[in-house]
């Protein structure tokens, strides 16, 4: 099945991660959105055995587990990102 894809990116002010919103439009007209945080490094020792055990324990007891975040301290940058998201929702994927 054919598909068309487009994306909007919001890079963290510290440069360590970015928020990515992907839009996929399928041949049958179905549209899907995927939100991801892409991290350029591992934070908080999640890759050690002890870090993985702590994460698993939090998950077991229903606690939130944060792997990364996107910190933006410039309101204008965030507004521009929202405008891009609105455009992504309104446009056909082939035009963006």
* Whether the Cβ atoms of residue 71 and residue 14 lie closer than 8 Å to each other: yes
Per-residue 3-state assignment (H helix, E strand, C coil) for 49-86: HHHHHHHHHHHHCCCCCCCCCCCCCCHHHHHHHHHHHH
Residue 11: which domain range?
3-95
pLDDT in tens, 15-41: 777 888 999 988 888 888 888 887 765
80 vs 67, higher pLDDT? 80
Domain tally, the chain? 1
pLDDT at 68: 66
pTM for this one? Answer: 0.62
């Amino acid at each position: 099945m054919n598909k068309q894809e487009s994306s909007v990116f919001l890079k963290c002010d510290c440069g360590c991660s970015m928020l990515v919103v992907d839009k996929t439009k399928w041949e049958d007209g179905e549209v899907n959105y995927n939100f991801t945080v892409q991290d350029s490094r591992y934070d908080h020792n999640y890759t050690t055995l002890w870090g993985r055990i702590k994460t698993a324990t939090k998950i077991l007891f229903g606690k939130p587990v944060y792997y990364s975040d996107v910190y933006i301290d410039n309101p204008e940058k965030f507004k521009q990102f929202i405008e891009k998201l609105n455009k992504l929702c309104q446009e056909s994927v082939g035009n963006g």
